[in-house]
Amino acid sequence: MRMKTGGISLLFLLTLLIGKHSIAQKIDKQAVYAAMTSGKAEDIDKELEALGDNEQGYAGALLIRKAATVPKAKEKLKLFKDGRIKLETALVNEPDNTEYHFLRLSIQENAPKIVKYKGDLPADKQFVIQHFKKLSPVVQRAVLDYSKTSKILKPEDLNNDHS
């Protein structure tokens, strides 16, 4: 009986781990970046719902982006803070995740001065430039598109060989 329970527990644990991994692979990054770009609350909410409790970095960035869509200052600040905590937690857990550095760069560049969230811009810019070629094509496209309007990250920064 004891062996059976252990086998079932191991099987349950493996199912959870495999399930979490497959969820991470099912993220539609193109849709996440489209929602970030559109800035429409309904697009952002749809992607937040699709993410569920997974992928703190994306969820954090989307919450911060959503903050710009709400009318009340108190709600804006709450969404911004919640998103910032999620994104920073994701970066602590995955400091080598280039995509999270890019998300933080894009948010910090556009954050209002009052929230005092600008301190990592130079480091994130360098990190994104150095690891750009290792990103998936979808993410590379998002970074390139962003660089066309950014004052900090320029397309020519990404076209040079920094590997």
CA 98 to mean position of chain CA atoms: 10
The C-alpha atoms of residue 153 and residue 162 are separated, in whole angstroms, by: 14
Using alpha carbons only, how large is the chain's radius of gyration in Å?
A: 18
Q: What is the predicted pLDDT for the residue at 29?
A: 93
What pTM was estimated for this model as a whole?
0.81
Q: In this model, does residue 23 exceed pLDDT 60?
A: no
Task: Please state, for a pLDDT cut of 70, what percent of the chain lies above it.
Answer: 82
DSSP helix/strand/coil, 97: coil
> Could you tell me the residue ranges of all domains in the chain?
95-163
With tokens 């991470």, the residue in question is 24
**Quick check: 153 and 147 in contact, CB under 8 A?**
yes
Q: What is the mean pLDDT of the chain?
A: 85
Q: Could you read off the pLDDT of 51-62 as tens digits, one per residue?
A: 987 789 999 999
Query: In this structure, how many other beta carbons lie within 10 angstroms of the beta carbon of residue 75?
Result: 13
